[in-house]
Amino acid sequence: MATAKVISRNVKNLLVCKSYSVNVTVKHSVWTPENIVRSPFKDVEIPKRTLPEHIWENLERWSDKTALVCGTTNRSITYHQLYKYSKNFAAHLRTNFHITDGDVVCIMMTNTPEYAPAVIGALEAGAEVTTVNPIYTAHEVHKQLLLSNPKVLIGIPESVPILKEAMRLSNRNVPIITCNANNGLPADTVSFEELINDDNINKDVLKQVNKGFEDVILLPYSSGTTGLPKGVELTTKNIISNCVQQDTKEIRHYDDTTSSHQETVVAVMPFYHIYGIAIIMLHKLSVGAKLVTLPRFEPTSFLKTFEDHRISLLCTAPPLVLFLASYPGVTSKHLESVNRIVCGAAPLPKSDIDKVLSKVKQNAKFFQVYGLTETSPLATTFTQDYKKYTTVGFPIPNTELKVVDGDFKNLGPNQVGELLIRGPQVMKGYRNNQEATKNSITEDGWFRSGDLGSIDVDGSVTIADRLKELIKVKGYQVPPAELESILKEHPAVLDAGVIGIPDPRTGERPRAFVVLKDGLKAASKDIEEFVAERVAEYKRIKDVMFLDNLPKNPSGKLLRRVLKEKYC
């Protein structure tokens, strides 16, 4: 997740806003004399155990309830089956694939019920899990293979050819396990279903797993201000902390699972993303919810999910909220069972929130949330009845915030600067990148978000603008440096710069500025097709300008800000 409310350009206008009364149960002072903002909620105890142990803690209370069901095929897994499948898979990973503590398992799949036993099973085996966008090209995937060095790949039939080509490009040869191979198992791969259904595998091998509380378990890749992929090291402590932080009564987004009640969550936000895997999958499984998985967003199947499963909790991002608000086919009937809507990942204006709430029952609650991959991901959220939609709510328990100026001086209430976050959910660091880690986490544990924001006297946070230069296309992060690197691979291109420009359909889109080599020519279409062959669709460039040179500072760094000011 990234910024949940962005107001570009005139940041100072944010300071001239009316005061609001806030109904928050404050357990202690919010602002300290040092201008550090503490969470208004009582600290929670972080249990020292493995993440699978945390998920299974209350298993007996809902073992026969559905854990996951496919929204298109109705294929389902109960909690008891999820436990069994995860253990079986873990034992096979240790025994037959020789996974040892700290090895990496890479998953490249769309959202399916099998995603959960694949992740939890890998963690049970002592592995780290890295996830890949299933629409990535082989060119993109091979970069992550080089960086993460996985020992096993898990995919679906559609992704197997991409994984094989990515291995060729990265000069790797590791086994591939295939899920949902209903129309035949791809050559040279192993059936996931055979592994998870093998109850005869000796699970005593799992006693050899010895992972510490501070050891890494998730390794998502995030593009920071440089745009170059960085492996975010999230530990057991990070993920469990963020789970129990979300369980706090004042801010929780769910009701307890009982014999007569179970939250039903539509899981269309991708599991490869930290929002999908941590907040929707891992946390909601830890509290006994039912996840209805959808492999992709498609209006008909998405709305049918509401009709068939009576969705009660909607974890979403702005494009989905806009769809619910404006699509003619969405009626109050579809949303009649929805009790809560949680929105993160990108900006969302109040007018769109009001449109959606007009279609749901009067007592439905709307939560805006804020966080980043590096914060596991949740950092702030609304309370149960909070409606100040210009903010992203309050720091969650065990979390401190501060806003600093360019000299790193702490600022006071309603002053705009860079937002810093400190808490047990802050990542361990970036994999094999000490410099990036040092630049992102201070010696005393503050994570630099890269977002401009302010904090009100009540502790509520407003995100004002982005310091980072990532481009947001339909809520997806598009790193300019990645596209610039690909552009420079074109034989006619000498130099390139990429920025995001406003787009009424996608929020932003990439615009490329290209300098050609002397004596060589290339048409815009040639450049666009060259990039399209190497990146996912949402990253593609459809707007190219040719320049004689690019603006740079004395050290040679590209000044994207100048490109925006001069050409946009």
pLDDT tens, residue by residue, 198-244:
999 999 999 999 999 999 999 999 754 445 689 999 999 999 999 99
Q: Mean pLDDT over all residues of the chain?
A: 91
- Of 9, 6, 18, 13, give the one whose Cα is nearest residue 456: 18
What is the bridge-based pairing of β-strands 507-516 and 544-546?
Answer: parallel
So where are the chain's domains?
A: 11-40+361-466, 50-212, 471-567
To the nearest whole percent, how much of the chain has pLDDT over 90?
79
Q: Cβ–Cβ contacts within 10 Å for residue 194, how many?
A: 13
Establish how many alpha carbons lie within 13 A of residue 482's alpha carbon, considering only the half-sphere containing its beta carbon.
28
- When pLDDT is averaged across residues 302-323 and rounded to a whole number, the result is 92
Query: Residue 346 — very low, low, confident or very high, per pLDDT cuts 50/70/90?
Result: low
- Of 256, 510, 232, 258, give the one whose Cα is nearest residue 374: 232
Contact 410, 442 (CB under 8 A): no
Instruction: Report the C-alpha gap between 408 and 311 in whole angstroms.
Output: 45
Q: What is the pLDDT of residue 463?
A: 86
- Residue indicated by tokens 């503590």: 101
Degrees, nearest 5: CA angle 379-25-422: 25
Contact 292, 69 (CB under 8 A): yes
Instruction: Report the C-alpha gap between 521 and 443 in whole angstroms.
Output: 50
- Of 282, 361, 328, give the one whose Cα is nearest residue 122: 282
To the nearest whole percent, how much of the chain has pLDDT over 70?
92
> pLDDT tens for residues 10-63?
222 222 222 323 334 434 469 999 999 999 999 999 999 999 999 999 999 999
Instruction: Report the C-alpha gap between 434 and 418 in whole angstroms.
Output: 22
What is the bridge-based pairing of β-strands 176-178 and 152-155?
Answer: parallel
Q: Cβ–Cβ contacts within 10 Å for residue 301, how many?
A: 15
- Of 221, 217, 216, 222, give the one whose Cα is nearest residue 2: 222
Which two structure tokens, joined as six digits, stand for 282? 């891992």
Instruction: Report the C-alpha gap between 127 and 446 in whole angstroms.
Output: 28
- When pLDDT is averaged across residues 100-128 and rounded to a whole number, the result is 98
Longest CA–CA span in the chain (Å) reads 74
- Of 457, 82, 445, give the one whose Cα is nearest residue 238: 445
Q: What is the pLDDT of residue 11?
A: 25
- When pLDDT is averaged across residues 333-351 and rounded to a whole number, the result is 84
> pLDDT tens for residues 146-173?
999 999 999 999 999 999 999 999 999 9
DSSP code at position 255: P
Query: Residue 361 — very low, low, confident or very high, per pLDDT cuts 50/70/90?
Result: confident
Q: Is the pLDDT of residue 482 over 90?
A: no
Q: What is the pLDDT of residue 223?
A: 58
What is the bridge-based pairing of β-strands 340-343 and 365-371?
Answer: parallel
What is the bridge-based pairing of β-strands 378-381 and 229-235?
Answer: unpaired
Positive or negative, the CA dihedral 58, 62, 64, 68 is negative
Q: Which homologous superfamily is 11-40+361-466 in?
A: Luciferase; Domain 3 (2.30.38.10)
* Burial group, residue 76, by CB count within 10 angstroms (0-12, 13-18, 19+): middle
Q: Cβ–Cβ contacts within 10 Å for residue 393, how many?
A: 23
512: left (phi over 0), alpha (psi -120 to 50) or beta: beta
Could you give the 3-state DSSP secondary structure of residue 281? helix
> pLDDT tens for residues 519-534?
999 999 999 999 999 9
Alpha carbon distance, N-terminus to C-terminus of the chain: 27
Contact 538, 478 (CB under 8 A): yes
The residues, ordered by sequence, that sit 6+ positions from 195 with a Cβ below 8 Å of its Cβ are 88, 89, 92, 177
Residue 384, CA distances (Å) to 255, 393, 537 in order: 12, 10, 37
Contact 346, 4 (CB under 8 A): yes
Could you give the 3-state DSSP secondary structure of residue 532? helix
Question: Which contiguous run of DSSP H or E holds residue 437?
Answer: helix 434-440
Query: Residue 553 — very low, low, confident or very high, per pLDDT cuts 50/70/90?
Result: low
Q: What is the pLDDT of residue 8?
A: 30
Q: What is the pLDDT of residue 481?
A: 83
Please provide the CATH number assigned to the domain covering 471-567: 3.30.300.30
Query: Residue 474 — very low, low, confident or very high, per pLDDT cuts 50/70/90?
Result: confident
Residue 225, CA distances (Å) to 440, 468, 470 in order: 10, 5, 7
* Burial group, residue 491, by CB count within 10 angstroms (0-12, 13-18, 19+): exposed
Residue 140, CA distances (Å) to 128, 279, 470, 527, 541 in order: 20, 25, 17, 18, 16
Q: What is the pLDDT of residue 24?
A: 40
Hey, what CATH class is 50-212 in? alpha beta
Q: Is the pLDDT of residue 462 over 60?
A: yes
Length of the chain (residues): 568
Own/partner pairs, 348-355, CB within 8 angstroms, 24+ separation: 348/4, 348/5, 348/318, 348/321, 348/389, 349/389, 350/389, 350/390, 352/318, 352/321, 352/322, 352/325, 353/321, 353/389, 355/325, 355/326
- When pLDDT is averaged across residues 478-504 and rounded to a whole number, the result is 91
Instruction: Report the C-alpha gap between 523 and 408 in whole angstroms.
Output: 46
Instruction: Determine if the peptide bond prior to 186 is cis (ω within 30°).
Output: no
Establish how many alpha carbons lie within 13 A of residue 53's alpha carbon, considering only the half-sphere containing its beta carbon.
11
Query: Residue 68 — very low, low, confident or very high, per pLDDT cuts 50/70/90?
Result: very high
Q: Is the pLDDT of residue 435 over 60?
A: yes
Q: What is the pLDDT of residue 228?
A: 67
Q: Is the pLDDT of residue 467 over 80?
A: no
Residue 447, CA distances (Å) to 99, 147, 376, 420 in order: 32, 23, 12, 5
Which two structure tokens, joined as six digits, stand for 515? 């300098």
Could you give the 3-state DSSP secondary structure of residue 441? strand
